[in-house]
Structures are given as C-alpha cells and as structure tokens.
Amino acid sequence: MTIDAAISGLLDTFFDESFEGLDRAEAALLQLGDAAGGVSAEVIGDLFRAIHSIKGGAGAFGVDEVTGLAHAMESVLDDVRGGAPATADGTTALLVGVDELRRALDARRAGKPIAAGMHAALIAQLAALREATAAAAVTAVADDAAVAEGSPAWRVRFAPHVELMRCGNDPVRILRELAELGATDVVADTSRVPALAELDATALNLAWTLRLPGTVSRAQLDDVFAWVDGQCELTLEREQAVSKAQAVAAAPAAPPAAAPASVATSGGSLRVGVDKVDLLMNMVGELVITQSMLGELDDDGPLSPDRVGRIREGLSLLARTTRALQESVVRLRSMPVGVVFARLPRIVHDLGRRLGKDIAISLAGESTELDRTVLEKLGDPLVHIVRNSIDHGIETPAERVAAGKPAQGTVTVRAEHRGSTVAIEISDDGRGLDLPRILATAKARGLVAPDAQPHDDDIAKLIFAPGFSTAAQVSEVSGRGVGMDVVWRHIKELRGEVTLDSTPGRGTRTVLSLPLTLAIIEGQLVRLGDQTYVVPLLSILETVEYDSQPRRRWGVGDVIRLRDQIVPVVDLAAQLGIATGARADHRLLMIVEAEGAPIGLVVDELLAQQQVVIKSLETNFGRVDGLAGATILGDGQVAFILDIVALARDVRRTGRTADPASDDLQAA
C-alpha cells in the first residue's frame, strides 16, 4: 500500500509543526543558557517534546536526513530531563542542532537534496557531551544472523503470568502468530486451572509447549513475545542446543525507512484558529438573514414609506455586516509579530557574545497582529536593524561604563497599533549614529556634494541611500551584504515607512510603520482618457498643474524642476497606450514617491479617494508591467492599480535620474 500521495498533503503540516517546535526549542534553550539552573521542568519537558516530535515525524514522513541528529539531541535532552546538568557547551551544541534541523527541513521543503551524513560531526559531539555527563547506555544489538537452512527446530515453553490479560494482551493472539510461523505439537498445560468456583476470569492459568521449525529466526520469535516480556516464563531452545536462553526481548528491528514522500511545494497554507472561522460563520449567517429580509421586500408593490424604511434598515445592516466580515477576513490572514520577534533573542545572544558586548533584549507587543505577507517580509529588515544596533550602536561594556552608562546595553523591540498601521520600533541605548562619519562616507561615495552641509536629519537618512555602506557593514557581523537601503526598499515594497532618529551618546530609534493588510489600500482614483486608474494614496506627495510647468526633454522623456528637485515625468497615457481625450492644457501632474525619489505622473483628472480591494492580475489574467493589480469600483467598473515602484524603475532604467546638469534646466 502506497500512501505517498496522502502523505504529501500532511507533509506541510509536519513542516509547519516542526518549525514551530524548533522556535519553541530555541526559546527554551536560551532560557536554559541564561537562567543558571533555574529552569522549570515544564520548560525542559516542552523542549524535549519539541525535538522528540520532530524525530518521530521525520521518520514517519520519510525526512530521514534529520532523524539521526534529532535523536542525538533528544538523548542529551533526555539526560537533562532526568536531572543531568545542562552545561553551557551542551546548550550551545543543541542550539547549533536546532539551526541544522531548521536548515535541513527548509532544504527538504524546498525539494533540495541534503547530503547524507552531514550532521555526523555534530552527532558525535552531542554523543561525546553525553558521555562526559553520564555513562551512555550501550544498546545491545540483537544477534540477528541469518538462520541457516538446516538449523535444528525450536522447543518453546510459554507460561504466562496470571496477570497477562490485565494489560490487554491475549495469549490467543500469540498462539495464532506462532501457528503462522508453523508451530506444531502444541500442548496446553491446564494443571494450574483452579476449580470453577474459584475461577477468576481475568486471571490466566494456562501454559503451553510447542515446536517450531528451525528456519524461524530468533528475531521473529522475539517479535512475537516482545509485548509479553516480563509477564511470562519463556523458554526458547534449539532441540540439540547447548545453551538455554531465557527470553530477552530485543527491540524489534527498526523498520526500513519509509520511501521519501514527494515534496509538496509550499503553497502557502494557513493555519487558522477555529474561533476565527466560527466568527466568520456567524457573519455569513447574518448576511443570509439580511439577504432574506431584503428579499421579502422585493415585490412589485408600491414603494411605501414603510417599505423604503425597511429597505434602508436592511442596507445599513448589510453595510455593518460587510465591514465586520472584511475585518475578520483581514484578521484571518494575520499572525502575531511575536513569530518574527522570536528570532531576535538568539541573534542578540550570539552576536553580543561574539563581539564581547553584554546586551539584553526586551520585547513588547508580541501579540500585535500583522498580515501574513507583511510578516514574512518583515523578518530580514528587522534582523538587519537589530544587528546594526548590536554592531554599531551598543558600545563595549568598558566604553559604556566610561560613559557613565550601565555595562549592559539594551535593545528594545516593540510593536503597537497606530491607526491603520502597525508600528515596529527598534531602539537601543548605544552611542547613537556617528553623523560626521556618515557624512564623510557619503561624500567619499559621491552621494552628496563635497562642499554640502546637510541638516542632521538628512545625514541620518543617508544610511538608507543605495550604495551607502560603512566599512563595518560589510564585515562578517552585519553580513549578508544587506545594507540599510535594502531595508528601506523592503519596507517601501510593503507600503510601509521607515523613520530614524538618534541622539549622540543616548541611542538610536528606528520605527517601521506597516499597513495592517496588503489586500486593501487607500486609493486615489484618477481619470486617464475614458479609463479610471487607482494610485495608492500613501505614495502621493502632491499634485500640480502640468501644462503650465516649464519642462525639458531629457533622454526619452520630459523632466520638470519642482522647487529644487528634478522630477522625471511619466506620460501615463502614452505609456499605457490610451488615447487621452483631455485638452492638452488642463492636465495634472501627480508627484508620487517611489523608493525615496519623486516621479511625476501625468493624469487627466483627480476623482474620489476610497478604499479599494486589490485583485491580483497574475491569478485572474496575467502580469502586466506597470500595474500592481486591479479592483472593482462601486459601479462595477474595473480599474487598474498603478505599480508606482515599477514605473519609477522603468524611468530610472531609461536614465532620467542621472542628474541632468541643473544649469541646463534652469535655462528652460
């Protein structure tokens, strides 16, 4: 029976569960490392179970690459659970193990092969640690040599203890199995059976002797009697055997590993609490009631004031339920930010130790919920900012004491709701941004003019500029080659905002503001010819009259000078191939910000502002450059949502941000 196909559906659940387990294990291990001996049995039990479940699941689902490591880790943890001391070396090795398991499971989920035996060194290390703390029990391996054809027959005597049936075992089952193995000459010994009056139906007073063919292996016999070991007198001997062996039930040989299940590509499944689904169900119920209420009013009778009143009532009920439904669907997609925060203590722990800094991390607002997609993309930027704080912000203990601060530095990460956004604030009590150095670097990189004297706030923003990277940022610590410009870009892609402030000697604070959901945005409707388009409201800076502006041809398009900035202009109608019917002297230029720089979009008219629900073009039609999606307006018309970032990149590709000589433009 193959159940590969069935398994692959469950495999995702297994991965989800395992990653959750690893996160829990990591948190518990960090507690174990910090609290000197003061960790509750519950934490250790949870830790043990997390690894234990991965080992069990990995075996069952054919993810065999991790079972060996999980087993080694489990053994160490089992010792700890049994009272062995948790050493610092042990904790560190286990943390490495957690990382390795995570990596191996990740690779397996992505369908990449994992080299066999890659964990051998770590397994050996864990085993060595164990030996150091306790004498490792050596598991005796049953001698399961192949049985020669002409081996002498077995003589078996099986005398169960009276209580054998009280564990749910049944001698009939065992005898049936022996019969399958070819038992002959079965004789029951009824001598111990008491008189009927004294008979206890739950007690077993029988014993059997029988013969089995010599071709039956010892392992097969052990298998039959494995469950009743210790609950019976058992004699197994070869007919001319020299040795009498009291049965020792060896563990049944480990079954051959299950065939690797086909890996389901991660289709992005969602684990949702039952209560949330119940809430949805409730609201759908409300909708059905409202619908039937409105349906009753739908006849051809005259529109009496009473009927109009009831229709209005129904509509307002409908509006209320729809809004509630929308909110709960949004909530369905959200997860607590704690999921992402959970990675941070580990980073602070490892990196602080490596840099010789004493750093505590304080987390707040972990239960604040964010859209799943936002949350997935939040991880890397957040880690990067925290690494920056540790690497550049917090001083060494000696420096801190010299500056009159406590030796231990603190990184605080806090999440909270602010209107329709969630703010994630990362602050440290370190030395603050080194503004002179940032300015010097920026000048050296040609990001600002050599003689410029920008305001402090503007200097701070330079660290988000593409291509800005101080020497330390490409060090091993900040690693990954991810600069703050990537953080900026990621957050902008999520339609979020990054703000930064810093006080010399006191610390730095970075705030990421993120939208609650990506599925609904505040949009500005604009008219272009006879079409309506949507521009995300957040990206709009201002709108000016276009045709009265002095402009200049630059490369493939126009640029205008707006106050002190050169703004490239995108002629949307031309770009999108629309015949604009507007008079060429009444057009508007909407200035939008994309990736930190402004571009101007030529539109015919501004219409309403409203919330729009984003529908994916990829799933319903196909990808179109310059469009982020589509939405359906109140009147049923379909409107496209402009992809500002893509438009801006297109402009940059055509070279219009290469700063045109400003004199040249002033002449225009």
Partner 1 sequence: MACIMVIDDSSSMRALVKQTLAGAGHQIVEACDGLEALDKLRLAKVELVLCDVNMPRLDGLGFVRQARALPACKFTPILMLTTEVDPEKKRIAKEAGATGWLVKPFQPAQLLATIGKVLT
Give the binding site for partner 1 (CB under 8 A): 1, 3, 6-7, 10, 13-14, 17, 45-46, 48-49, 52-53, 55-61, 67, 71, 74, 137, 139, 165-170, 172-173, 176-177, 202, 226-227, 229-231, 249, 251-252, 254-258
Q: Is the distance from CB of 614 to CB of 518 less than 8 angstroms?
A: yes
Q: What burial class does residue 659 get, using C-beta atoms within 10 Å of its C-beta: 0-12 exposed, 13-18 middle, 19+ buried?
A: exposed
Q: How many helices (H) and strands (E) does the chain have?
A: 20, 23
Q: Tokens 């001996």, residue?
A: 37
| CA 206 vs CA 157, 182, 231, 503: distances in Å | 11, 21, 13, 87
CB of 77 to partner 1, least distance (A): 11
Neighbours of 644 (CB within 10 A): 25
Task: Give the span between the Cα atoms of 318 and 411, in whole angstroms.
Answer: 47
- DSSP annotation of 242 reads S
Helices 88-109 and 120-133 meet at what angle, rounded to 10? 150
| CA 495 vs CA 161, 488, 591: distances in Å | 73, 11, 16
| Pick 229 or 458: Cβ nearer partner 1 | 229
Task: Tell me if residue 427 falls in helix, strand or coil.
Answer: strand
Q: Is the distance from CB of 391 to CB of 508 less than 8 angstroms?
A: no
CB of 227 to partner 1, least distance (A): 3
Helix intervals (H) in 61-181: 67-81, 88-109, 120-133, 171-180
Sheet strands side by side (includes 638-642): 605-613, 520-528, 531-536, 638-642, 627-632
| Pick 144 or 229: Cβ nearer partner 1 | 229
| Pick 252 or 655: Cβ nearer partner 1 | 252
Selection from 422, 275, 426 nearest residue 337 by Cα:
422
Q: Is the distance from CB of 655 to CB of 554 less than 8 angstroms?
A: no
Bridge partners, residue 429, by sequence: none
CB of 104 to partner 1, least distance (A): 16
Tokens of 582: 């507007």
| CA 257 vs CA 69, 101, 224, 572: distances in Å | 16, 19, 22, 60
Q: How many CA atoms lie within 13 A of 170 on its CB side?
A: 4
| Pick 63 or 337: Cβ nearer partner 1 | 63
Q: Is the distance from CB of 65 to CB of 55 less than 8 angstroms?
A: no
| Pick 1 or 661: Cβ nearer partner 1 | 1
Q: Is the distance from CB of 484 to CB of 464 less than 8 angstroms?
A: yes
- DSSP annotation of 615 reads B
Selection from 522, 521, 467 nearest residue 489 by Cα:
467
| Pick 3 or 289: Cβ nearer partner 1 | 3
What is the DSSP pairing of strand 551-554 with strand 540-545? unpaired
Q: Is the distance from CB of 417 to CB of 410 less than 8 angstroms?
A: no
| Pick 256 or 404: Cβ nearer partner 1 | 256
Q: Long-range contacts: 3-12, Cβ < 8 Å, 24+?
A: 4/259, 4/261, 4/262, 5/262, 7/61, 7/62, 7/261, 8/261, 8/262, 8/263, 8/264, 9/264, 10/61, 11/61, 11/261, 11/263, 11/264, 12/264, 12/266, 12/267, 12/269
| Pick 46 or 380: Cβ nearer partner 1 | 46
| Pick 31 or 654: Cβ nearer partner 1 | 31
What is the DSSP pairing of strand 409-418 with strand 359-364? parallel
| Pick 13 or 291: Cβ nearer partner 1 | 13
**296: which residues sit within 8 A by CB, 6+ positions away?**
none
| Pick 48 or 640: Cβ nearer partner 1 | 48
Q: What burial class does residue 285 get, using C-beta atoms within 10 Å of its C-beta: 0-12 exposed, 13-18 middle, 19+ buried?
A: exposed
| Pick 216 or 566: Cβ nearer partner 1 | 216
| Pick 152 or 252: Cβ nearer partner 1 | 252
| Pick 177 or 327: Cβ nearer partner 1 | 177
| Pick 170 or 542: Cβ nearer partner 1 | 170
For the residues of 84-108, what is the DSSP string, one character each? ----HHHHHHHHHHHHHHHHHHHHH
